[in-house]
A and B are shown apart, each in its own frame.
Chain A
Amino acid sequence: MNVEPYIASNVVTLVLLVGVGFLVAFVRRNRLWREAARTLWSRRKVAILTVGLYLAIGVLDSFAWKGGVPEDVVDVLPNAPLTLVDRLFLGTREASYSAPLAEIEFYGGQPLRHPGTHLLGTDILGRDVLYLSLKGARVALLIGGLTSLIAIPLALLFGVGAGYFGGRFDDFVFFLISTLASMPGLLLLITLIMVMGRGTLSVCVALGVTSWVGFCRLSRAETLKLRELEYVSAARALGVSEPAIVLRHILPNLAHLIVITFVLMFSGLVLSEAVLSWLGIGVDGSWGQMIDGARDELSREPIIWWNIGAAGTALFGLILAVNTVGDAIRDVLDPRTLRDSP
């Protein structure tokens, strides 16, 4: 079966949106979570709206369809699948650099094809920097989101399993996480990406493999604590099966930790991707790649600052918003157990 990438992307985005819908419905039904969400909203309106804006851009950039390209546009292949963001910037490509809102080209002094329309200027290939920055939102969300979706279930599977069942399995998991934690993180990351080859998915998997250890340790410790509590013993005495105990009595009590870890992990992952981009093994189209590519342009004369400025600000804005929301989430959901480990 051969599915075109853009259709797969559309389907995945749709599934994720439906998942988010179910999550929202659940939060609205459950009193505890509803209250938490309300407190969160009243405390961090701006940050939540900012994250929402990034999410909206990311979603708009995820649904692609073919056709509808005017005849005179030469930037793209005639039958390429394009998203809404792509379509907004169709045909804005210039020959080379131009400063924000400039009328002429940076080097040659030639008049631009679309003078005064590039709010953030263009890059070396003449692509609109605002367009590239908007495209980066989807990549960043993909790195943070997809990797968390890999790392957190993995950590829960091993952490809860080890904590609840103990014995040989616990020994094995503990050995595994000690081994992974003792290896220098960046080296492991580089090697894993080299093994799996470059690409979005392999970067996400590699980041997932290197970042699940912390949460695995945490969920193992929490499970060890939870399984000794009276309600778990009561459930066991009443004859509830082991999987049911884990699902109904252990996991719901880890839910707040899952939410907090997800948000805190997210920003760390996006920042790690920037470092990977510097090493030349990042994800194509990420802000990290824009920053890395613009590094040498700061030494040109006059200085080309809009490129790195736009990517840096976009990255900083997302991370700051997520960190601020994450802080508030931690305060709301869990004031005690989770300290911010560096």
Chain B
Amino acid sequence: MAAYVLRRLVYGVGVVMGVLFLLFVLFFTVTEPEDIARKALGDKAPPEAIEQWKVNHGYDRPLWPWQDWDDNLLFEHYRKMLTFDFGLSDADDSPIIDRIAEGMGPSLSLTVPLLVLGLMAAIPLSLLVAFFRETYIDRMGVLVCVFAMSVSTLLYIIGAQFLIGKLLRWYPISGFDVDPMLLPRFLALPIIVGLLSGIGSDVRFYRTVFLEESSRDFVRTARSKGASEVRIMARHVLRNALIPILTHVVLAIPFLFTGSILLEAFFGIPGLGSITVDAIQSNDFSTLRTMVYIGSLLFILGQVLTDLSYGLVDPRVRFDS
């Protein structure tokens, strides 16, 4: 198993190198180091100030190794990322690591409740729909799911802000507060929107998983020995369906940290998603690459963890072969 994990991690490092390369190439085909400096200093900055800024921030080097093998931006980019030296933001010279630490809390306070509540809503609902399979309830359930999936997230957000925030005035339209007493009021609306926009596809997915498990031989055996339908669902179907559910959840964990760009932007939550959007808008390469780097690292880690968690819940899975 150790060998398996090691192999996966080494491959993961390769993929991260690929991601970093792609990001570098894409970013510097649109933007030149001058553009970053100009965004940071303002349009009216004199050329000397821009040159000085480029020297200070290390952008005076040539971009590619074939221009200067010993001193170029690409190698510097790799060196910094692989040693986790994220440095300062290109936009305002604040340490990036501090901004990530600041943004982590707001992001997690939105995404973690969203994931937990989503699971708590989707799994019982889909069990219910699967329990009444091939009946009116099942068909209605699927129909409602397709309805919920067909609405654009943009419309969910605007609709909720308008209806609940403006007309009914139950919750503030947007904003954020670190005070734990006030926080739930600000998070209510984004969480409602996130749940609504995700629940359709989730319930459908889990329903398919449950239906697949209920057509297995051991379910027929359980039924023929006289187990009640409720017991079959709880003990045989749900337990075996845990594997795909687990994959689904573990794969979602990295995205808890990167935050939700759309929800954070609309509801004014100063999380990691907002940092990313700000970085795009202000050509802040050093922040952008850090966010992409962390995102892809977490994604790869999540995949390895998913594979390992298979081994925990499913004794049939072996890693040595």
Q: Is the CB of B149 within 8 A of A323?
A: yes
A178, A316, A340: which contacts B205 (Cβ < 8 A)? A340
B30 touches A195 (CB 8 A): yes
Q: Is the interface of B mostly helix, strand, loop or mixed?
A: helix
Interface check B191, CB cutoff 8 A: no
A187, A292, A319: the one contacting B150 at CB < 8 Å is A319
A147 within 8 A of B: no
With an 8 A cutoff between CB atoms, is B75 at the interface? no
Most buried by A among B29, B146, B276: B146
In-complex Cβ contact of A183 among B19, B147, B153 (8 A): B19
- Which listed segment binds B: A4-12, A88-96, A250-258, A267-275? A267-275
Give the size of the chain B interface in residues (CB under 8 angstroms): 46
B155, A316: Cβ atoms closer than 8 Å: yes
- The reply to whether the CB of B174 lies closer than 8 angstroms to some CB of chain A is no
B146 near A271 (CB under 8 angstroms)? no
User: A245 on the interface (CB 8 Å rule)?
Assistant: no
The interface bits of chain A over 289-305 (1 if a CB of B lies within 8 angstroms of the residue's CB, else 0) are 00110010011000000
Q: How far is the CA of A318 from the CA of B300 in the complex (A)?
A: 36
Question: In the complex, A277 Cα to B204 Cα: how many Å?
Answer: 28
The answer to whether the Cβ of A175 comes within 8 Å of any Cβ in the partner chain is yes
B292 sits at the interface (CB 8 A): yes
In-complex Cβ contact of A182 among B26, B153, B280, B300 (8 A) = B300
A183 engages B23 (CB within 8 Å): yes
A332 interfacial contact with B, CB 8 Å: no
Given contacts A291-B155, A340-B208, contact A183 B22 (CB under 8 A): yes
Q: Which of these, A179, A186, A319, A324, contacts B22 with CB under 8 Å?
A: A179
B201 at the interface (CB under 8 A from A): yes
Q: Is A320 an interface residue, CB under 8 A from the partner? A: yes
Docked complex Cα distance between A296 and B152 (Å)? 17
- Give the interface SS of chain A, mostly helix, strand, loop or mixed: helix
Report yes or no: B205 in contact with A341, Cβ–Cβ below 8 A: yes
CA distance A295 to B152 in the complex (A): 14
Distance in Å: Cβ of B31 to nearest Cβ of chain A:
8
- Contact at B248–A342, with CB atoms within 8 Å? yes
Q: In chain B, residues 201-234, which have Cβ atoms closer than 8 Å to a Cβ of chain A?
A: 201-202, 204-205, 208-209, 212
Which are the 5 A-B pairs with shortest beta-carbon distances?
A179-B18, A182-B296, A320-B150, A319-B150, A342-B201
Residue positions of B touching A, CB distance < 8 A: 11, 14-16, 18-19, 22-23, 26-27, 29-30, 142, 146-147, 149-155, 158, 162, 166, 198, 201-202, 204-205, 208-209, 212, 248, 258, 261-262, 276, 280, 288, 291-292, 295-296, 299-300
Q: Can you name 25 A-B residue pairings with CB atoms under 8 Å?
A: A175-B14, A175-B18, A176-B18, A178-B15, A181-B299, A183-B23, A184-B276, A187-B276, A187-B280, A195-B26, A271-B152, A274-B152, A275-B153, A275-B262, A291-B154, A291-B155, A298-B162, A316-B150, A319-B149, A319-B151, A320-B146, A323-B146, A339-B205, A339-B212, A342-B201
Knowing that A320-B147, A340-B208 touch, tell me 10 more A-B residue pairs with CB under 8 angstroms: A178-B15, A179-B15, A179-B22, A187-B291, A194-B30, A274-B155, A275-B154, A291-B152, A319-B150, A320-B150
